Amino acid sequence: HVFVRALKAVVACPGGFGANREMRSLHDPRLYNLTTTNNPAASTGEVLVMMQDIGADVTGMDHIQCNPGCPPGRKLRVNMFSWPQNMIMVGFDGKRFIAEDSRRDQMRDAILALPKQTAFCIQDDYGQSLNNVGHQKDNLKGLETGDAWRADTLEELAKKAGIDPANLVKTVEEYNKGCEAGHDAGGKKPNNLRKIEKAPYWAGYAGMSVHHTMGGVVINTDTQVIDRHGQIIPGLHAVGEVTGGIHGSNRLGGNAIADIFTFGRLTGIAIANGK
């Protein structure tokens, strides 16, 4: 062990608890078997528990964000979902179940309600070509690992992936008609509509992976940690994913950079001023 004596303050910034299966499922039991986008050696929640042990209050612990990823039991995360205009999502029944440009919390709840907590992204070859190079490599690897499939017809694609063939063909036909009309019956916004029509067609698993925990310790505007009686815990600051109440129930993607600059500066000013 290494002991460091802090003369002015301690700043807790260890990340969240998305990689701690027991801790996250305590607050949302649906998440126990899910994979995570987090580093398994980080986001494990120990520092959060240590702050609770000395009286820190917490909030929003059940607000846990997920991103599409590999379903329970799989290891490779193929990616055909980053651009909602380039794909649709279906279940094993070949039917769409949500507008693909919905909020992350809505997407999480919809996919976790499906059989095996598993969905599929469906893309055509043009949509696949628009994915970034890294995702294209993962998707090609998925063809080898059984996490993605490619075929010249939708019927063949469905059979390879274990999706209902007749329903998938009908679903894509109806979706393409909506693209032509500029109105999607499934609710996708008009600017995100693009037909799926260029063979070969692609399918890839889209389960849910735990991504970001919005819950954590309560802080004030000087990033000082607040205890369960509403009082400041002297000398203790917290920033980043270990804090709660900053992003509400649905953090917007890309906010990590805003967190770093905003709360890093606020913390530095507060400590410099003796808070």
Catalytic positions: 104
Could you tell me the two tokens for 1?
């062990």
Phi, psi dihedral angles at 274 (to 5 degrees): 85, 15
For residue 66, CA distances in Å to 37, 197, 250, 270 come to 9, 30, 10, 33
Could you tell me the two tokens for 31?
């998440």
Could you tell me the two tokens for 176?
């393409």
CA dihedral 140, 85, 166, 136 (to 10 degrees): 0
Q: At what angle do helices 154-161 and 165-181 cross, to 10 degrees?
A: 130
Q: CA gyration radius for the chain? A: 22
